[in-house]
Amino acid sequence: MPKRRAAKPKDKERGAAAEGGAAEAVAETKKKEIALFGKWSFQDVEVKDWGLKRYICLKPVFFPHSEGRHEHKRFGKASVSVVERLINNLMKPGRNAGKKSLATNIVKNAFEIIHLKTGRNPLQVLIEAVERAAPREETTRIAYGGIVYHQSVDVAPQRRIDLALRWLTEGARQASFNNPKTIDECLADEVIAAAQGDPKSYAIAKKDEVERIAMASR
């Protein structure tokens, strides 16, 4: 049988160079990955609630600020990052009205605290909090022959997310009043408690109350 030709040093050098090039390409793709605030990855974040999956936007963004481009589009909120929607809910009439940079810093610091307390990606913790705090049933007022009564109805997915984010920020705002804890810490605690389904969470308590009233109005 003919003998195999031994690999030349040049061939070995070419193989090593190719491996080095592949490693550099992988490193470059990791560097180019868009992370929230330059730190939190969107890759492994998962929405488990199929009813909300279509309406929770997890498009990778470095800084969650869309400048209101969705305003004149019907159902445009579905294309806005869920983190930006949380920030917008913090800008309610009162101390933080219209101060988006302040609200963004509050959420940014709250994410750091969530990571320190849980050791997990704060984006995933926020998604779990929204899923657990979103009500599935509520009541509406129906007028019939001069009589007004309440009837239980299913909640639309978009409204479920709106209510969950509203209650998370309301709970944080109320907890920070007359309290030495900052609103950053209160928001982090509220999100963690809601993600765990803790009944002490303001958002979970509101959800249970709404669903209990709806159940009685079936």
For each of the domains in the chain, give its residue range(s) and CATH number, in order of start: 34-216 (1.10.455.10)
Average pLDDT over residues 6-31: 53
pLDDT at site 24: 58
> Which is nearest to 132 in space by CA: 142, 124, 144, 140?
124
Measured distance CA(64)–CA(33) in Å, rounded = 16
Q: What share of the chain is helix, strand, coil (3-state, %, to 5)?
A: 55, 10, 35
Beta-carbon-side half-sphere exposure of residue 79 (alpha carbons within 13 Å): 11
pTM of this prediction? 0.81
Average pLDDT over residues 62-66: 91
In the chain, % of residues over pLDDT 90: 66
pLDDT at site 26: 47
pLDDT tens sequence across 93-143: 777 788 899 999 999 999 999 999 999 999 999 999 999 999 999 999 998
pLDDT at site 6: 53
pLDDT of residue 1 exceeding 60: no
- Measured from the Cβ of residue 190, the count of other Cβ atoms closer than 10 Å reads 30
